[in-house]
Structure 1
Amino acid sequence: MIVLGYAKVPAQSTTHATQEFFSLSLLVEPPHCTVLAVDSTAATAMAREWLASLLVGADLSGDDGPFLDAVDRHYLGPAAGSIKQAIRDAWRRYAGRDQ
């Protein structure tokens, strides 16, 4: 299953010059709610790789708080809020898939 999360990109972010929204794509194994792969529209390969290392193995049926906290602690850039919002959005979409 593919789960997407979106968020607006702040105007002061370098990414805003080319895109208005940040998107996060998660490949999820539904029976176990486990994230198998991650892709995003982060501006650099390093940021995309970091997000993948953060989220691969995550359980979408669990709390997103530890991942949001990790962004607060380890991502020092204007797009941190967008990344956190996209993570929240993906968690919310996954939780609402059966409704």
Structure 2
Amino acid sequence: MSDDVYLIVSGHAQVPKGVALHEEKKYIGAVWVINKSTKIIEKAEFTLITSLSNEFLSNLVIGYDLNQGIDNLLNKIKKLCLMPSQGAIIQAVRSAYERFKENPK
């Protein structure tokens, strides 16, 4: 991976108390590798307890075109990710997107 073609961004959000994930991890992270020229997420990971949750969410965001904003991705997560930690996942995704937007081109 060439450092002039890709960048890595992450966003984090606190997991609400009362959610099982909170006992193991206090924060959820969304980490993306983005192609700087196309603005497409090419790799993704989430810091969730199970590998299945991480894989499912990663597959939702990989290939997403950030040129179209974040609303479509957030709606997809709301529709398909029916987990107690959904709000924290959405916040972590928003945070990663905001960090991406702050990046000087």
Letter in 1 for 2:33: L
The offset of 1:46, in angstroms, is 1.1
Look up the match of 1:4. 10
Runs of 4+ in structure 1 off by over 4 angstroms are none
Query: Which residue of 47, 69, 85 corresponds with 1:79?
Result: 85
Look up the match of 1:64. 70
Distance in 1 between the 2:83 and 2:37 partners?
Answer: 35
Q: How does 1:1-99 map to 2 (within 5 A)?
A: 1-98=7-104
Letter in 2 for 1:57: G
CA contact (8 A) 1:14 1:43 kept: no
Identity of aligned residues (%): 25
Greater radius of gyration (CA): 2
Corresponding pairs, count: 99
TM-score (norm 2): 0.88
Distance in 2 between the 1:69 and 1:4 partners?
Answer: 20
Point out where structure 2 has 5 or more consecutive residues left out of the alignment: 1-6
Secondary structure in 2 matching 1:69? helix
